[in-house]
Amino acid sequence: MTHGQLQVIIVEGRNLKDKDTFGQNDAYIELYLDKDYKQRTSTKQDTNSPVWNETFHFNLLKGQDHLKLKVYDEDIIGKDSIGSAKVNLKDVFATGHFDQWVKLPAHLGLGSHGEIHIIINYVPHA
């Protein structure tokens, strides 16, 4: 039984940590509530401040209270991890809305690998 629906807008990124030796990142984001159903943005070429403005929808199941984001640099062979973050959805459930820059913490939380601007709208099922 679904608990509601999330509308997630990945707006943009800024100051993404450069993973390429030459040029800048070819960044994209995987987002998911559980590992079995991932969605992803398009890849933005050669920028550390990508603009996506892409909207995703998730049917929320009971017990799913974190939205996970993994930011990657797409390479010819494979991908490099730029960073990851989790958004606690409990505050979103209370207010119905979230509009913030989410930090991609560096190892052990020391420093940052950039930020992602995310807007989330929550619609509970009656």
Domains of the chain by start residue, with CATH: 2-124 (2.60.40.150)
**Rounded to whole angstroms, how far apart are CA atoms 80 and 83?**
9
- Helical residues (DSSP H) of 49-124, grouped into ranges: 90-95
What pLDDT, in 10s, does the model give residues 63-75?
899 999 999 999 8
Q: Per the structure block, which two tokens stand in for 65?
A: 């209270």
Can you give the pTM of this predicted structure?
Answer: 0.92
What pLDDT, in 10s, does the model give residues 84-115?
999 999 889 989 999 999 999 887 767 889 99
Residue 1's CB: how many other CB atoms inside 10 A? Answer: 5
**Quick check: 17 and 114 in contact, CB under 8 A?**
yes
Burial class (CB in 10 A: 0-12, 13-18, 19+), 9: middle
